[in-house]
Amino acid sequence: MKHLLIRCIGLFLATTLPLAAQRTPDAVIELTDEIRDPRIAVPEIVGPALSTADPVKYFNNELWKALEASGRLDMVPHSFYPRFSPRKPEDFQSDEKKMPEDLGARGFYLRAWADVPVMARYLVYGEVKEANGRLALSGYLADVTQESVEASYVFGKLYYSEPNVTGAREMAFEFARDILQNLGLGEGLAGSRIYYVHKEEGSDRKEIWAMDYDGRNKQRITNYRNLSLTPAISPDGRRIAFTTYVEGIPKIYLHSLATNRRLPFYNQEASMNSMPSFGLDGNSIYFASSASGSSQIYKADIDGGNLRRISYSRSLDLHPSVNPRTGAEIAFVSDATGTPQVYVMNTSGTNRRRLSNGGGDAVQPAWDPTGKRLVFAWTRGYEIGNYNIFLVDLASKRYTQLTHSAGRNEHPTFSPSGTHIVFASDRMGSTQIWSMRADGTQLNQLTSRGLNESPVWATR
């Protein structure tokens, strides 16, 4: 049994030993945008200056960052804008014969935002006021390519927040989400959270932490002073499941993210219960367990009861990941061919098929929100012996290599919007959390202190 546990952990980590040289991939497919990102102007929205830590200025900074971070918009630089922008729809002037010759003075005309030098499709505008001790934002979105002010109106909404930077940030996030949703671009990244495993330098303990999408507001979630690994977040963002060694052997613990308290979860008698993944309804958990002697995929109710075995193989089956769109498929890792490879099967355990083609080690699969693509770490990259992030389209079976010759890149997970991927990399020396566009561009380092790994991206 001890030998089994060592093999399971070794396959699970899949990063501890150097590997033999691997051939370069048969094909590297580049991702391209079929539709050009909408070009949008976001001038600063004016408001009262309440203190030296001006929440209105903070609001403007956060709104810009949230829209830019969505990866779905072409942001027009402020240097191209007219000197003034409207605060409400009534500020627009319809008689273009009266439009000043001075380009900088044309801000109250739709055409000034659509023509050179701005050349925007959309304009964000509005005003912040004080209202009964709170901030009140009147926020609007206009399609400036329309012929009339009435036709240009996309949406307008009233928002409230506390008169501080925290409230201003939340208000910016809400406005940004509404802008993206009204443009048919999803919710973006604003307000989403990344959960990950953090290890302090010089310590042998690992705890689960969380942070905002941009790396700010880091917060410790667990405090077991042991090894807490492989976090998974329920679809509604209210619960977290993870593997912990606090009782000596790997078991699954469940916590409420609202109260940060442990919830009941019965671990079946086994030398290993680990690597949880929530079912589509959030009321079931899939995980790897040695309850039958070797590591197989199991399913249990949210409290650990009603255990059902899903996979029946002579190999080690690990790291289940449930399709977030259909809930009908599980991606997982198996060493059936002698090395760990990525497989997919139905949640009933049927229709088992391999996705990675057998070259090198392929581990840590995760679905995109559409359930049509998977990302995983694979040693078939250009740097011998190291893992790179790959994406596979399930329909075409085509692979895309997203990271290239920059250390070990592991544990990839999609953002809830599907536009970004978060992963762990030691490309700068120590293992840290990074994000990138889903096409491998726009790398952004999110952590820098200690060692950080196993990130998962959640809606909140």
pLDDT digits (tens, 9 = 90+) for 383-439: 666 899 999 999 999 999 999 989 999 999 999 999 999 999 999 999 999 999 999
SS3 label, residue 167:
helix
Give the pLDDT of residue 96: 86
From the first residue on, what is the mean pLDDT of each consecutive set of 10 residues in the chain (460 residues)? 45 39 36 67 88 83 96 96 96 91 94 97 97 96 96 98 94 97 94 97 96 96 97 97 98 96 97 97 97 96 97 96 97 96 97 90 97 96 78 94 93 96 97 97 96 95
φ and ψ of 436, to 5 deg: -155, 165
Beta-carbon contacts of residue 438 (< 8 Å; ≥ 6 apart): 31, 71, 368, 391, 402, 414, 418, 419, 420, 421
Give the pLDDT of residue 15: 37
> What is the 3-state secondary structure of 231-256?
EEECCCCCEEEEEECCCCCCEEEEEE
Partnered with residue 122 across adjacent β-strands are 40, 143
Q: CA-CA distance, 394 to 368, in Å (whole number)?
A: 11
* Cis bond before residue 117 (omega within 30° of 0): yes
Neighbours of 396 (CB within 10 A): 10
Which residue's structure tokens are 């048919």? Answer: 184
Which residue's structure tokens are 């409290």? Answer: 303
With beta carbons less than 8 A apart as the criterion, state whether 82 and 105 touch. yes
Q: CA-CA distance, 445 to 206, in Å (whole number)?
A: 20
DSSP 52-96: SS-HHHHHHHHHHHHHHHTSS-EEPPGGGS-S---SSGGG----G
Number of H-type helices and E-type strands within the chain: 5, 29
User: Token pair for residue 248?
Assistant: 């000596």
Q: CA-CA distance, 415 to 389, in Å (whole number)?
A: 15
Which residue's structure tokens are 């409420």? Answer: 256
Neighbours of 121 (CB within 10 A): 20
Among 389, 419, 342, 407, residue whose Cα is nearest residue 25: 389
Beta-carbon contacts of residue 51 (< 8 Å; ≥ 6 apart): none
Q: Which domains does the chain have, with CATH numbers?
A: 2-33+191-458 (2.120.10.30), 39-182 (3.40.50.10070)
Give the pLDDT of residue 36: 75
